[in-house]
């Protein structure tokens, strides 16, 4: 990283579903949930989104991805974000050929449970 001029970045190789691996890194201003929602069950997506406030500083942005293959789950994902205290900053157009969004967290800072499993890749 330093060779590329990226000082102050710590890389952790570990299980992204295990909240214990985020100790010391949360609450964060920018949270990337990319390359996850296309590989886990709808229930795990909903549970992961419900847990995202625990990753967020007040005003944080979560950037997420999900394909648009039918049945298009992006509208449900947006609804789950809103139910968890987020507002949409941007969501890709359905005709774009991909699904991505940025949601802002305006709620209070909440503690991330230290030993919770958020999702399991099943595809």
Ligand X SMILES: C[S@@+](CC[C@H](N)C(=O)[O-])C[C@H]1O[C@@H](n2cnc3c(N)ncnc32)[C@H](O)[C@@H]1O
Q: Which residues of the shown chain bind ligand X in the complex (CB under 6 A)?
A: 15-17, 34-35, 39, 121
Nearer to ligand X, 17 or 26 (CB): 17
Nearer to ligand X, 51 or 85 (CB): 51
CB of 41 to ligand X, least distance (A): 13
Nearer to ligand X, 95 or 123 (CB): 123
| DSSP secondary structure of the chain | -GGGT-TT-----S-TTBGGGGTTT-SEEEEEE-S-TTSS-HHHHHHHHHHGGGGEEEEEEEEEE---PSS--HHHHHHHHHHTTEEEEEE--GGGSS-EEEEEE-S---PPPTT-B------
CB of 116 to ligand X, least distance (A): 13
Which residue, judged by CB position, is nearest to ligand X in the bound state?
35
CB of 82 to ligand X, least distance (A): 23
CB of 117 to ligand X, least distance (A): 9
């Amino acid at each position: 990283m330093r060779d590329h001029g990226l000082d102050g970045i710590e890389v952790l190789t570990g299980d992204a579903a295990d909240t214990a691996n985020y100790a010391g890194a949360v609450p964060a201003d920018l949270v990337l949930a990319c390359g996850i929602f296309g590989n886990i069950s709808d229930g795990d997506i909903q549970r992961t989104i419900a847990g995202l406030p625990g990753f967020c500083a007040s005003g944080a942005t979560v950037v997420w991805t999900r394909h648009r293959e039918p049945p298009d789950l992006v509208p449900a994902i947006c609804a789950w974000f809103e139910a968890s205290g987020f507002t949409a900053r941007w969501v890709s157009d359905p005709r774009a050929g991909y699904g991505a969004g940025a949601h802002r967290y305006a709620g209070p800072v909440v503690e991330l449970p230290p030993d919770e499993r958020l999702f399991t890749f099943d595809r």
